[in-house]
Structure 1
């Protein structure tokens, strides 16, 4: 009986070690047991902040987006900076470029049931279901009937998304959309399983491992709100034999110094931000340090529905009183480019010209603050010398960069325009809620384009897009964006040039800089991917042993 009990005890202990629940004493038997956990490939990754949701159709941020990108698989995905087929085996496009027919490869959900075209139809129509109120629903408005369904003008049966059989999906577009395949890599277009979602509008189904059924290289093992998320290899993934990682421990440390300390002590393998003061040294000395270009812009949002920010002269004064060169040289320090518009460099028009360069600087001097012109504009608005100007509040989500940036702009405005500025920080989920409810005066903003086209950066400021929380509405801007969705050739880009000109004249936003993405990855980590859209992917990642 004693021998039997010992065997049971050893089985229990081995199970606990494999699941990472307990550690064992250093005995001969312990060393043998610990080898089971050592042989596992475990990535310790700091995401930087807690995601608001892991629901593909409800998510709107990069934190949730990166995890969704690893837990789900769409028709296509980005790998090695290329768009490659994922669940799609192949597709055809009609002569009028309006009808795509996708043929799916056999694949399974993490519960072992087949992924079908019906799952894609359900998920995409769910994204535009008016009862869900998805802030990313607009990404599907290129599809026939999608916007009408979202606005309760038609039924979902009239939307151009139809599963012809289990492995054939037909999609009809409103107009030729050359970047549609690009769009299909985004998290909003991921499939989901209707019987586990069960019309859940709060995303709670993705917080419990038993209901978080996914079809990507990883699935949910554990979800501890605001603390840690654990992903494990999905053995049902169609390409599981080429997935090397067994576990991903995801942390939400938003203090970059704390994260850096953990990285240096090898407790973390990847950190998504670094202490700003360390960047110059890291750029020249650290092989683990990466600086990557991004299709992204940092800016401040003005709530134009509150005084005095409803006055265009005030917004212009605040914008040109900021020394953008000083911000990137002394605050962010990672080679960012001072911003004059919402569209970053690297996007070409139909003539092959860089959209950013052709658009121009909209009278913004990127190298210095235009103090005298700013003072004159403020005086025209009735605040000569800053007299009578109410205290402004800058709202930002917790991070070292955001705090230093807000403090620098606070000092610039107080020193040059003689106005008082209060800084308020909130945790990310609360911050997102404050912006959505327009409970702010000035708020930190940033946008990573979801596809490589100026439209990806501009359309979020249309009056009917939930992403636009500035309160700004302009019918001319809206009309130009709508026309650009159906126009072709250089005529299409001319519409987008005009749209950005309106945006940068009325200034519901204040562009600050174009991102350079900085992060650190241990030398033992290979095959990782971070897209220009800011999403991590670990489906090809491996951990190697380094020579001493």
Structure 2
């Protein structure tokens, strides 16, 4: 699972936009000489290297370069062998057997070979460790691998009953509870990565700390330095098994707090950065277009979706403008009201909001109106999103009959409709004693100029649409640590210190709609806490959010998830059932989809489309395969490369389909 941080879209760029230390030249229309250095910025410190534990993209962006699992994605999105050189699946779809590469060494933080190769037992050790540390990512596999759920729940203490087995040193076998056609895509996630048992024992609780010597490495790079709010550096793993596909020798990430957007381009110009986000609204943008009139390209969007979430049971009020318990209770009751949430949904001008980040020209590029991209999977050879749209209209034609859910435009914004729904909500809530206006606290990272402007845009459109006598958005300016603690890094519903937040989003772990929709399962959803709710399966004692869950009818959503999950023999029927669940989620406006990851302008020296491509897993920011050129990528070069990549991707998909059908 990938919990993604919204600030990444404000300051950073996708790894598809990496480059060299060389200053760009606007004269290049084809790939120039390659270089071996890469430098970028980061905005959130690396918290852990325990790749079997963390769900946060701000961690996995790094450790995906240090440790590798069974399979990986190539540049066209196809799964290929990584630690596994081959594999087969039993006829009943329940047993996956992987044959590992031999002579792949573990190395330490100094690049010295540890004295042991990667073996099948390392994968067994990795999964057991994930359970021992109560991994944030257990739900990806807990119900998939035979016996694992019982071991997690303490019904047995014998890990040998779990369906993962080292048949011999280089043969690994998983036994599943039910067929999962998407199982192989799960192997690209950290929870199924290997850990050397001897090294794990030697480190004890220090395993996975954010220091170079806390893990062993079998991936293309080694962490050389991690200094908080300063720098993160990698060096190439000289013992890596696939050196021909590693084109970088050194990697450097420099901390950036977002306070000087134009400074990124200046650093790029000075050779201090290999790439730079550029900001069409900033005073310095004229310098960008003057220096490189054909050098601003736009990153592609991916499967991650950022959203605006409501806190349905707020338990922390450190960052608030509310002064009385009555104000807190009034806001709580308003958020529980569907008509109030629909008013916010229709009153939020997402195009203007995104324009604060990327300018008017690109304001629509990344906008998304669903949680799951329309073409993530297909139903009867048609985009999954078509079925979601028809089911949403069927649920409430008055609200959604004229809504266009396609990407690249704001399908919801309608000030007149917002006014209608806030009046409906006001009638319902005033009958319960709620007083207006409703105040909504929204935390914002105070040093990020663009983030503050985006929050101001949201405030303006919501208050203009609903009326400031009905709703007031109170922007809470917080420093970096307090902002993250109140939002992205809050690990329980009660710890979330907000009424609404745009702090995070979600990227899928495997190619099935459940990878998105299960996150709001009221019993064990991994992101249920971002709604101010607790997962009932892990609550000790009374669930403090039980009343709120009942008020928003979340059990209905759980039932739809269960119905879909039970269908394993017909993918069209399974995906249709999940479309019912997503339509319910949108109809009840539990969260507001805003935009996809990507769709941002940049100057860059990366060879276009040389990076791995994947809808799922943690390969999005993998530096393997990436080639970096000495000159800037021009729009002509980028467009030509995109056309060629799309053709090759389609050919590769057909070839993979033909191979799998044999």
TM-score with structure 1 setting the length: 0.83
Q: CA deviation at 1:239?
A: 1.5
User: Which of 97, 103, 106 in structure 2 is aligned with 1:109?
Assistant: 106
Q: CA deviation at 1:218?
A: 0.4
Q: CA deviation at 1:355?
A: 1.5
- Counterpart contact for 1:528–1:537, Cα < 8 Å: yes
Q: Distance in 1 between matches of 2:591 and 2:479?
A: 20
| Residue 88 of structure 1 pairs with residue 87 of structure 2 | no
Aligned-pair RMSD on alpha carbons?
3.1
**1:210 match: secondary structure:** helix
Q: Distance in 1 between matches of 2:508 and 2:443?
A: 23
Q: Distance in 2 between matches of 1:390 and 1:117?
A: 57
Residues 104-123 of structure 1 show CA distances to partners (whole Å, capped at 9, x for unaligned) of 00211114221111111111
- Counterpart contact for 2:441–2:475, Cα < 8 Å: yes
User: Which of 334, 338, 345 in structure 2 is aligned with 1:319?
Assistant: 345
- Counterpart contact for 2:86–2:98, Cα < 8 Å: yes
| Residue 259 of structure 1 pairs with residue 264 of structure 2 | yes
Q: Distance in 1 between matches of 2:418 and 2:565?
A: 39
Q: CA deviation at 1:461?
A: 1.0
Q: CA deviation at 1:426?
A: 5.0
Residues 251-295 of structure 1 show CA distances to partners (whole Å, capped at 9, x for unaligned) of 232424333321232211134x44352699879944363320211
Q: CA deviation at 1:389?
A: 3.4
User: Who is 1:269 aligned against?
Assistant: 274
| Residue 189 of structure 1 pairs with residue 192 of structure 2 | yes
Q: Distance in 1 between matches of 2:566 and 2:254?
A: 43
User: Who is 1:132 aligned against?
Assistant: 133
User: Who is 1:392 aligned against?
Assistant: 440
- Counterpart contact for 2:279–2:285, Cα < 8 Å: no
User: Which of 408, 420, 443 in structure 1 is aligned with 2:457?
Assistant: 408
**1:433 match: secondary structure:** coil
Q: CA deviation at 1:241?
A: 4.9
Q: Distance in 1 between matches of 2:449 and 2:601?
A: 14
Q: CA deviation at 1:202?
A: 7.1
**1:421 match: secondary structure:** strand
Q: Distance in 2 between matches of 1:442 and 1:459?
A: 21
Q: Distance in 2 between matches of 1:280 and 1:348?
A: 38
| Residue 170 of structure 1 pairs with residue 173 of structure 2 | yes
| Residue 357 of structure 1 pairs with residue 386 of structure 2 | yes
User: Which of 144, 149, 152 in structure 2 is aligned with 1:150?
Assistant: 152
**1:420 match: secondary structure:** strand
> Are the structure 2 counterparts of residues 41 and 491 from structure 1 closer, same or farther at C-alpha, using a change threshold of 3 Å?
closer
**1:109 match: secondary structure:** strand
User: Which of 224, 227, 240 in structure 2 is aligned with 1:224?
Assistant: 227
- Counterpart contact for 2:356–2:454, Cα < 8 Å: no
Residues 279-322 of structure 1 show CA distances to partners (whole Å, capped at 9, x for unaligned) of 99879944363320211212111111241322333222222221
Residues 232-260 of structure 1 show CA distances to partners (whole Å, capped at 9, x for unaligned) of 11122112354232211122324243333
Q: Distance in 1 between matches of 2:280 and 2:194?
A: 38
**1:294 match: secondary structure:** coil
- Counterpart contact for 1:528–1:541, Cα < 8 Å: yes
User: Which of 23, 28, 43 in structure 1 is aligned with 2:38?
Assistant: 43
Q: CA deviation at 1:353?
A: 1.5
User: Who is 2:311 aligned against?
Assistant: 303
Residues 449-490 of structure 1 show CA distances to partners (whole Å, capped at 9, x for unaligned) of 223332222111112123221117423322332343341322
User: Who is 2:594 aligned against?
Assistant: 512
**1:231 match: secondary structure:** strand
Q: Distance in 1 between matches of 2:86 and 2:313?
A: 48
> Are the structure 2 counterparts of residues 276 and 53 from structure 1 closer, same or farther at C-alpha, using a change threshold of 3 Å?
farther
Q: Distance in 2 between matches of 1:331 and 1:210?
A: 38
Residues 374-396 of structure 1 show CA distances to partners (whole Å, capped at 9, x for unaligned) of 32233133259x95334211134
User: Which of 532, 557, 572 in structure 2 is aligned with 1:477?
Assistant: 557
Residues 501-529 of structure 1 show CA distances to partners (whole Å, capped at 9, x for unaligned) of 22223332122233434364633667444
Q: Distance in 1 between matches of 2:242 and 2:272?
A: 29
User: Who is 1:381 aligned against?
Assistant: 428
User: Which of 341, 349, 363 in structure 1 is aligned with 2:370?
Assistant: 341
| Residue 451 of structure 1 pairs with residue 456 of structure 2 | no
- Counterpart contact for 1:135–1:465, Cα < 8 Å: no
- Counterpart contact for 1:54–1:203, Cα < 8 Å: no
Residues 18-73 of structure 1 show CA distances to partners (whole Å, capped at 9, x for unaligned) of xxxxxxxxxxxxxxxxxxxxx99331122343233232122222221121111111
User: Who is 1:5 aligned against?
Assistant: none
> Are the structure 2 counterparts of residues 159 and 380 from structure 1 closer, same or farther at C-alpha, using a change threshold of 3 Å?
farther
List runs of 5+ in structure 1 lacking aligned partners: 1-38
In the TM superposition, 1:422-501 aligns within 5 A as: 422-424=474-476, 425-427=478-480, 429-430=484-485, 431-434=487-490, 436=492, 437-444=495-502, 445-463=504-522, 464-469=524-529, 470=531, 471=533, 473=549, 474-487=554-567, 488-501=570-583
Residues 154-191 of structure 1 show CA distances to partners (whole Å, capped at 9, x for unaligned) of 33332211111111111011211111111211233222
Q: CA deviation at 1:78?
A: 1.6
- The total of aligned residue pairs comes to 506
TM-score with structure 2 setting the length: 0.70
List runs of 5+ in structure 2 lacking aligned partners: 1-33, 315-331, 394-398, 404-410, 534-547, 633-662
Q: Distance in 2 between matches of 1:328 and 1:545?
A: 31
- Between the two structures, name the one with larger relative contact order (CA 8 Å, sep ≥ 6): 2
> Are the structure 2 counterparts of residues 515 and 236 from structure 1 closer, same or farther at C-alpha, using a change threshold of 3 Å?
closer
> Are the structure 2 counterparts of residues 251 and 190 from structure 1 closer, same or farther at C-alpha, using a change threshold of 3 Å?
farther
**2:600 match: secondary structure:** strand
**1:222 match: secondary structure:** strand
Moved over 6 A (4+): 199-203, 278-284
Q: Distance in 1 between matches of 2:560 and 2:453?
A: 37
